[in-house]
Chains A and B, each alone.
Chain A
Amino acid sequence: MSLLAVEDLCVSRGGLPVLEGLSFAVRAGEALVLRGPNGIGKTTLLRTLAGLQPPLAGRISMPPEAMAYAAHADGLKSTLTVAENLAFWAAVYATEDIEPALERMNLRGLRDRAAMSLSAGQKRRLGLARLLVTGRPVWVLDEPTVSLDAASVALFAEAVRGHLATGGAALIATHIDLGLTEARLLDLGPFKAPPPEAGGFKGQFDEAFL
């Protein structure tokens, strides 16, 4: 039983398709790592899966209320403390306890610091701790390890592993090796959509108005 299945998906950026004919499935307890050069459409694909933009074609099937999305930006409020930032997202996702997440991401000593006084790596850890308080089974992560040091990457890999062990699934776009040996790799290169001048999809003129 797959938590997330994608069939013949075509995603577009700026009205032009970037990836097409994409099909994959992620089962519970499984991690899928997306690879591909810059501009191939990893972020576009993840935003489409998160429901922030509609696909041009194809089907995405996922149980409702299953996904937690983490983008490039962490969505932190700089004048709120670490605990307040996390407690807000916990309240939004109707889970109450932020302590395990603080513990797992090694943020306990920073809990009363304002987010603006954190380093880039600490902010990223806080952003990833947000995933732990969502209680959602499918994690969709866009470059989760940017600005993390080796120890924090290991911490993050451990958190992902713990999530998979409890029946979760993860879809991760990344360039570096996370040390998740059990993760499957998916190279997006073969799914690159041909540019319009090479006979590809021309895009819709009314895209900007819909």
Chain B
Amino acid sequence: MIALLIRDLRLAVRAGGGFGLGLAFFLIVVTLVPFGVGPEGGVLARIASGILWLGALLACLLSLDRIFALDFEDGSLDLLATAPIPLEGVVTMKALAHWITTGLPLVVAAPVFGVLLHLPQGAYLWLIVALILGTPALSVLGTFGAALTVGLKRGGLLMSLLVLPLYVPTLIFGAELVRRGAAGMATQVPLMMLAGITAATIAIVPFASAAAIRVNLR
């Protein structure tokens, strides 16, 4: 399974692998927002955490359809399904590779982008905590959408429709955590909820994704 992770990471950094695509998209979203809502610091500071979360979510969505589609096209997915690795393990490693190439760069870059949006001083730590806890759930839930649409031509839009509603709890509690942290309020409840959602997602969704792939490979 480690071999699969290494292979996916290697593919991501080679030509056409899409590494940095999400990050660039995130940057563009964040720079466009001040043009759209005006550059006043007060307004931006209020919406900054929400915008950063939305940007992270969309950036994550952008690269989801690649998770299984490329392997399906060149036949690797059939071969992986017959290989001695359980398909649940394949899904988990794919999600981890996706998080390392998409989620992790977002976590690292988000504080920098926060500056562009006048994110309040006290919110930086909470932003990082929220993204670290929340983005793995985005990647894992994404594998489910990608698995459901794996055999479809241009399944990207359908996948977005399937996956975005599943992102709602993570978005709500993630943005709430940053907002409360910035305002100096108690953060325990959204923190627990966010961590709990991610933990439950990681525990359950790989089985659902593997089942979806099995059906789609028939």
Contact = CB atoms under 8 A, between A and B. Distances in A.
B154 interface: no
A5 interface: no
B74 A75 contact: yes
B110 to A, nearest CB: 29
Contact of B217 (A52, A84, A92): A52
A50 B215 CA distance: 15
A80 B71 CA distance: 13
B39 interface: no
Contact of B10 (A68, A72, A78, A84): A84
B75 A73 contact: yes
A154 to B, nearest CB: 25
Interface residues of B, number: 26
A69 B85 contact: no
B88 interface: no
A53 B75 contact: no
Given A71-B79, A77-B74, A77-B76, A92 B14 contact: no
A55 to B, nearest CB: 12
A88 interface: yes
B79 to A, nearest CB: 4
B3 A67 contact: no
A112 interface: no
Interface in B74-108: 74-85
B218 interface: yes
A77 B2 CA distance: 17
B76 A53 contact: no
A24 interface: no
Given A52-B82, A92-B4, A93-B84, A74 B14 contact: no
A93 B83 CA distance: 7
B42 interface: no
Contact of B83 (A47, A73, A84, A92): A92
Contacts of A65: 84
Given A75-B79, A77-B74, 10 more contacts: A75-B77, A77-B7, A77-B11, A79-B15, A79-B16, A84-B7, A89-B83, A92-B4, A92-B85, A93-B84
Interface of B: 2-4, 7, 10-11, 14-17, 71, 74-85, 215, 217-218
10 contacts: A47-B78, A51-B82, A52-B78, A53-B217, A73-B78, A74-B74, A74-B75, A75-B76, A77-B7, A89-B83
